[in-house]
Amino acid sequence: MKESTRGALVVTARTLVAALCVVVVVAVRTTVGWGSLAIMLCALLVLLGVLASYNRRFH
Partner 1 sequence: MATTTSSPPSDTSAPARPAGRSARRRGDGRFVLACLLPALVLFVLFMVVPTVNVFRMSFYTWSGFSPDMRFVGFDNFTQLFEDAQFVRAFQNTVALLVVVTVVTMGMGLFLAAIMTRQRLRGRNFYRFVLYVPNVLSVVVIAAIFSAIYDQQNGLLNGTLRLLSLDGLQQVWLGDQDIVLWSVAIAMVWQSLGYYMVLYMSSMASIPEELYEASGLDGASPTRQFFSITLPLIWQNLRTTLTFFVMSAVNLSFVLVRAMTGGGPDGSSEVLLSYMYKQAYTNSSYGYGMAIGVVIFAFSFLVSLLVSRATRREPLQF
Q: Which residues would be at the binding site for partner 1 (CB under 8 A)? A: 18, 21-22, 25-26, 28-30, 32-34, 36-37, 40-41, 43-45, 47-49, 51-52, 55, 58-59
Cα separation of 56 and 50, whole Å? Answer: 10
Q: How far is the CB of 15 from partner 1 (least distance, A)?
A: 11
Least CB distance from residue 1 to partner 1, whole Å?
20
Spatial separation of the C-alpha atoms in residues 53 and 49, rounded to whole Å: 6
Q: In the complex, what is the shortest distance from the CB of residue 55 to partner 1, in angstroms, rounded to a whole number?
A: 6
Q: Give the HSE-up count for residue 24: Cα atoms under 13 Å, Cβ half-sphere.
A: 19
